[in-house]
Amino acid sequence: MSHYIKQSLRKYFIMGSQNCSHDPTEILESAAEAGITAFQFREKGPKSLTGNAKLELGKQLRDICRKHHIPFIVNDDIDLVTPLDADGIHVGQEDQSVEELRKMFPTKIIGLSVSNSYEVENSPLQVVDYVGAGPIFATNTKSDAKAPVGVEWITTLRKQFPDQPIVGIGGINTENALSVIEAGADGVSFITAITTANDINLAVQRL
């Protein structure tokens, strides 16, 4: 399981329609063709879809992931996990407890964001499949993002948890992705590195 998770975290693309200047299904299709290894549906914040429109977009994006054999993870929306038959769910520190989630979804992938040692000490990491560590670099994508923690946060986590699947998040692009991997992450996750790329194929290759 852990080996499969680590491989899936390698190039982990996250987005919702609010991040896209054109059709999100086209963007995901291009990214999947180019070789992303996982996708997270994060439909939230200003200009995001709600209700049935959100569900319908989720289904389309899920089908693209299925076609390309990559895990489809939903962000926060516990209510979407079953209707979308998602492969997993990613939550932050302020969301539903991961112990509760594990009871609800015994076999799904569960990811948890951790930004500092306090959060790590107070999180039951044994029930999660991977941690998202960040924001590593400054980002404008998430309005309530915490201060950047740098690749040192990856180094710290890797020392403390030699076998834990870890993915970096926040401000990761084609120029700095390697530094995140070199610090010990299993992979990188990113929104704007793809949604604003002129050439999605090239951006995924470089990442």
Choices 61-69, 71-79, 189-197, 199-207 (CB under 5 A): range interacting with Mg ion: 71-79
Number of H helices, E strands in the chain: 10, 8
Q: Which amino acid is at 83?
A: P
Question: What residues make contact with ligand TZP under the rule CB under 6 A?
Answer: 134-135, 139, 141-142, 145, 169-172, 190-193
Distance of CA 169 to CAs 106, 113, 122, 155, 157, Å? Answer: 25, 9, 20, 14, 14
If the CB atoms of residues 71 and 132 are measured against Mg ion, the closer one turns out to be 132
Which residue has tokens 């915490």?
146
Active site residue 142: yes
Q: What is the 3 state secondary structure string of 96-148?
A: CCHHHHHHHCCCCEEEEEECCHHHHHCCCHHHCCEEEECCCCCCCCCCCCCCC
Q: Is 92 in the site for Mg ion (CB under 5 A)?
A: yes
Residue closer to ligand TZP, measured from CB, 111 or 184: 111
The one catalytic residue among 11, 17, 108, 113: 113
Instruction: Identify the residue among 10, 32, 34, 76 touching Mg ion (CB under 5 A).
Output: 76
Q: Which residues are annotated as a binding site?
A: 40-44, 75-76, 95, 113, 139-142, 171, 191-192
- Among all residues, which ones are annotated catalytic? 42, 113, 142
